[in-house]
Structure 1
Amino acid sequence: MISLVKPNRPRFTDVEGLAAMVGSGDVFGVGGHHFARLPIALLGAIARSDIKDLRYVCWAGGLPLELLLEADAVAEIDLCFSSLDIFGLPPRFRAVAETNAVPVRDWTALAMIQALRATQQNLPSMPFQLPQGSDMLARVPGASAAPDPIARTETGFIPPLRLDTFVVHAQRADESGNVQIIGPRALDFAMAGAARQVLVTVEEIVPVGALRQDGRQSILTRNQVSAIALAPGGAYPASCLPFYVTDYQRLSEAFATKETPLADSLRLPSEGMPELLQEAAKVRVETALAMPAVAHGEKKASVDEIIAARIAAEFDNDSFASAGAVSPLANVAYRLAKATHAPDMIIATMSCGHLDIAPSPMILSLIESLDCETAVAHAGGDDTYATYYQAGAVTHEIVGAAQVDRRGRVNTIALRKRDGGLIRLPGQGGMADVANMHRDYLLYVPRHSVQSLVDDVEIASSARGLLTQNEREPMGYRTGEALVFTDLCVFRLDRSSRELIVIETMPDITQQQIRDATGFAVTFDADCREIPLPSNDMLDVLRNRIDPLGLRRLEFVSAKERGALIAEILAADRIMVERCMVAQTAGG
């Protein structure tokens, strides 16, 4: 058993001093979330230090994992999901996963949370709800199913997951070593509690007592922290609110450049943090709401707009919708519903880290800061799983799927090529858990084809295993709809046959077109109808109030088209951010 008790006074050092505390072979965790509060400066120093054989353990891979893989510092990978957000799948992760150069173990989010908590709470194991209908239990290291000793019902159990080192970037520390985290905290607290040493970089070091002046913060108390380094801009080009927003332009350039090492491409400019990023972090929601949209010139409703409006129609004032890791379409649909017909619905973004946000415009560089500003509360993933997901309180979480079969099972882990090789996909994140926990199970497949709608998935990464009321009620879950939206139709998972049937078709799409594009025999509901076109008022809100940059389009283009669309979005994003900054300055 590794002792997790730390001294009451953490050591203060510099970034290189923190990097020197990491050992080859460490079980290594990284804090932050998506492109928020990632310890990029510290990861760069670790990558340069010739550390080897790390066991990378984290809910997400993404940019931190890419940096460490580039440095050949990783020997094993344990994660739930790996993505570069709007930029697609991480190439280095894909390369090592597809060739098995580095072993990859896929976890469900709940199993990882409970394994960390077992360590944190000094327990030999922790129970968790089984991911019914999926293949994930067999894939999670050490997980097993057994009768609960009291209720005797089949329950999942997971052994402790211990970390040697956990690294995280935070906003501030005081001079005694208490660390302040503002905004969503992902799994930071659970990982810190499961780590032998916790290494933190911060934007500022402030006098003792100063942290009490800030609202909506979380504190890692000084006896949970091993060492701290002052590193202004230490998350760049990721964000660290309220200091600066994410530099999407820099990220785009770094991912597109093959000649320059990623670690060098992502370094903070020698002249310091770009002023645009600092000023953008100060833009308020009322300023963003007053900005005119960047015109796209559409007249007729496009496929992405029809689907967004149709999904929005699923929500009402009692809905509680959670936006997952990389779901622009879902995010648009949620905000559209709340801005039109469902003002009382609750939206949670950043994987439930921002709770009950206002439906502010999806301006790429400002989404995080506006959600952070308007959220009623900020939380961590471990908190929200217990409070909302496991409790069955969330009604909807719409998730994109690479492949769905006739029984509504999803594969987001890997596809087998004709030559026997693998195409690695991002992973299931937390979908294996919440597919059963949420009242309504909603999926979308942006490009309906025989490759995406198949007879049987090779790996069922998530599924609605508990479908009927008799199956769901004993588990404490509400019974709702199970739907799959595509660019051709809407399927419903029938509770009797437990197979998908078409209940709606897209405008001007024939039943034969759907049959030809589907990899299983298609059944049409007797009352199958055509999806109605969104009204002009709905389109106006969608285009000008909710998604002025057209982020929803990213889900409907091919990989070849994505680069040009991202460049267009980034150019429009900068225009809107600069307009917001000018307007805010003029308004005082």
Structure 2
Amino acid sequence: MPSSLAKPNRPVFTDLDGLAAMAGEGDAFGVGGHHFARLPLALLRAIARRGTLDLHYVSWAGGLPLELLLEAGAVAEIDICFSSLDIFGLPPRFRRAAETGAVPVRDWTALAMIQALRAAQQNLPSLPFQLPEGSDMAARIPGARLAVDPITGDPVGAAPALRLDTVVLHAQRADASGNVQILGPRALDLAMVGAARRVLVTVEEIVPVGVLAAAGRQSVLTRNQVSAIACVPGGAWPASCLPFYVTDYAALAAAFAAPDTRLEAAFAPPETGVPQHLRQAAGVTAATVAALAAPAVHPEGGSPSVDEIMAVSLAGLLGDDSVASAGAVSPLANVAYRLAKATHAPDMIIATMSCGHLDIAPSPMLLSLIETLDGETAAAHAGGDDTYSTYYQAGAVTHEIVAAAQVDRLGRANTLELVKPGGGTVRLPGQGGMADVANMHRDYILYVPRHSPLSLVERVTVASSARGLLTPAERWPHGYRTGHAAVLTDLCVFRLDPATCELIVLSTMPGVTRERIVEATGFPVAFDPHCSIVPPPKPEALDMLRRRIDPLGLRRLEFVSARERGALIAEILAADRQAVDECIARQRMRAPDGARDRQDGSPP
């Protein structure tokens, strides 16, 4: 049955349990929201409590929603591009399901999934997409076929329509007639809604008809796109729902501290509602943060550390003509982008939240406020589906610098799975959209925080992304610009040689010998004839990095082992709370008397 059959003009208004009862067993089941933003967690908990089974989970990301449903035994199949718990690492239930084969996992490229959802939305059997040249992903996309463009005869991919039975999402408001307001990045919400027969929405509040028209930047699902609505204040907690509350990283850290923690119980809403400080933090403005003399809650003195050298080196690759997109879990790259824009490249454009926040200001990376500050300073808010068309496929993005678990001598990355020495596999987050954009972006830049023979290998287990189109002659016919192709590690900088299509060492990190690089690399190492030493960071850049851009030291999370991560996260969360509390206090002092009553995070 086509997914786009029209829904009634007025959705049903019900309660949380009534909404949960509408999700059917065996449904192709999509989840809206993104990372830790606007996740419909209260509704997912209610669906899990009902014992709904055999769901076919379909979303760009797995993450926390998928962990909740796997814990309940509700998932029979998984179709995703990526699954991570952000700063908290790999999701254990997903890893266990994937590594044991208990639940089939099918990996999509982001573009193929977008086109498959659009095909369903448009009642088409399939839609074409650019092939992820150089990677192994084309053969892994469910149902995809190699096709020939009927006009040019060039090879393209064809994605079959991806029809959904139910999509669940959380939004800020609905009006009394059932129109739903989404503020901020939209992820793939609009494409999933268009591909679904049933759309179930929880909202923070229901307002009179006409109120939504007074809002600024927003997307509206008109009432004939929505099946049913429940008013569930705090329905995204412990994820965020701006402008009502920010992400509760302390609650997330407590839930993830032990692998046997029951998430369904851990995420039961507090009896008093969303904690007050999370609501107050949602009202902190960029002007308040900028007025702080130096929110250096984690200053570092002395010689630069390797993470600082890499951050400054990455920033040096960016210029005023750069358009840089921050990936899903790449704090080092996000830091580098902001550092470049705050120092030598003020005209560059930065997009965060997977291109949902467009052209942000280089605000400090205060963990609880990143989304708030980026949302406020962004020139526009967008969805992952429309930014793929407008920016990625158009070749308008110059950089998306991302980390890789493995890189081989041909510069191919692996973020899907590793083979254990004794047999079996270790499941990794997935490639998200890197298989697509590795060719679309002008510059192809990877980084490996810990250089070893296990991370720099002769041949990757699976090539999740690669620069398959390398030379101008290969790239120009596709409409792509040619730029740098490089890999930065904590030992050296490689460039991808267009003549040999292999990595060659361009420069070494300070104090690192060639012998050490050779010993730490799993393939024969060649050095550029003009191989140099990476220059140390200039004092002013280092000061900006430490005191203004990354005062919590979030970049360090990529340089520690899983065993060390918990202690570092605890340190960061304590510093983050201190900084946020100071911002809240300053915000209250700055706010006019009439606005102070709104510092609970509720909108004016």
Shorter-chain TM-score: what band? Answer: over 0.9
Q: Name the structure 1 match of 2:174.
A: 173
Q: Name the structure 1 match of 2:344.
A: 341
Offset of 1:296 from its aligned partner?
3.4
State how far apart, in whole Å, the 1-side matches of 2:444 and 2:254 are.
Answer: 37
Deviations 1:253-281 (A, max 9, x none): 01114554111101210111100000000
1:438 aligns with 2:428: no
3-state SS, counterpart of residue 396 of structure 1: coil
State how far apart, in whole Å, the 2-side matches of 1:258 and 1:107 are.
Answer: 27
Q: Name the structure 2 match of 1:379.
A: 382
Q: Name the structure 2 match of 1:2.
A: 2
State how far apart, in whole Å, the 1-side matches of 2:291 and 2:370 are.
Answer: 15
State how far apart, in whole Å, the 2-side matches of 1:424 and 1:478 are.
Answer: 33
Q: Name the structure 1 match of 2:585.
A: 582
Q: Report the residue type matching 2:274 in the other structure.
A: M
Which residue of 333, 356, 360 corresponds with 1:357?
A: 360
Q: Name the structure 2 match of 1:95.
A: 96
Deviations 1:389-419 (A, max 9, x none): 0000000000100000000001111111122
State how far apart, in whole Å, the 1-side matches of 2:161 and 2:556 are.
Answer: 42
Alignment check: 8 A CA contact 1:294 1:548 kept = yes
3-state SS, counterpart of residue 254 of structure 1: helix
Give me the TM-score of the superposition, normalised by structure 1: 0.99
Alignment check: 8 A CA contact 2:2 2:120 kept = no
Q: Name the structure 2 match of 1:130.
A: 131
State how far apart, in whole Å, the 1-side matches of 2:401 and 2:480 are.
Answer: 17
Deviations 1:278-329 (A, max 9, x none): 0000001111123221143422100000000000011111100000101100
Q: Report the residue type matching 1:308 in the other structure.
A: A
Offset of 1:187 from its aligned partner?
0.1
Q: Report the residue type matching 2:110 in the other structure.
A: A
Offset of 1:503 from its aligned partner?
0.2
Alignment check: 8 A CA contact 2:399 2:445 kept = yes
Q: Name the structure 1 match of 2:313.
A: 310
Offset of 1:8 from its aligned partner?
0.6
Offset of 1:184 from its aligned partner?
0.1
Distance 1:259 1:142, change over 3 A: closer
Offset of 1:3 from its aligned partner?
4.7
3-state SS, counterpart of residue 172 of structure 1: strand
Q: Report the residue type matching 2:459 in the other structure.
A: D
Which residue of 497, 519, 523 corresponds with 2:522?
A: 519
Offset of 1:586 from its aligned partner?
1.4
Give me the TM-score of the superposition, normalised by structure 2: 0.97
Deviations 1:335-381 (A, max 9, x none): 00000000000000000000000000000000000000000000000
Runs of 4 or more, structure 1, over 4 Å off, are none
1:104 aligns with 2:105: yes
Deviations 1:37-94 (A, max 9, x none): 0000000000000111100000000000000000000000000000000000000000
1:419 aligns with 2:417: no
1:564 aligns with 2:564: no
Unaligned runs of 5+ in 2: 592-604
| Correspondence 1:227-238 to 2 at 5 A | 227-238=228-239
Alignment check: 8 A CA contact 2:518 2:525 kept = yes
State how far apart, in whole Å, the 1-side matches of 2:9 and 2:375 are.
Answer: 31
1:157 aligns with 2:158: yes
Q: Name the structure 1 match of 2:246.
A: 245
3-state SS, counterpart of residue 397 of structure 1: coil
Deviates more, 1:448-457 or 1:410-419: 410-419
State how far apart, in whole Å, the 2-side matches of 1:254 and 1:298 are.
Answer: 34
Q: Name the structure 2 match of 1:532.
A: 535
Distance 1:97 1:369, change over 3 A: same
State how far apart, in whole Å, the 2-side matches of 1:364 and 1:290 are.
Answer: 18
3-state SS, counterpart of residue 238 of structure 2: coil
Alignment check: 8 A CA contact 1:289 1:545 kept = no
State how far apart, in whole Å, the 2-side matches of 1:339 and 1:586 are.
Answer: 27
Deviations 1:167-223 (A, max 9, x none): 000000000100000000000000000001000000010000100111010001111
1:402 aligns with 2:405: yes
1:51 aligns with 2:17: no
Alignment check: 8 A CA contact 1:450 1:519 kept = yes
Q: Report the residue type matching 2:222 in the other structure.
A: T
| Correspondence 1:158-307 to 2 at 5 A | 158-258=159-259, 260-291=261-292, 292=294, 293-307=296-310
Q: Name the structure 2 match of 1:30.
A: 31
3-state SS, counterpart of residue 229 of structure 2: strand
3-state SS, counterpart of residue 329 of structure 1: helix
Q: Report the residue type matching 1:424 in the other structure.
A: R
Aligned length: 588
Q: Report the residue type matching 1:28 in the other structure.
A: F
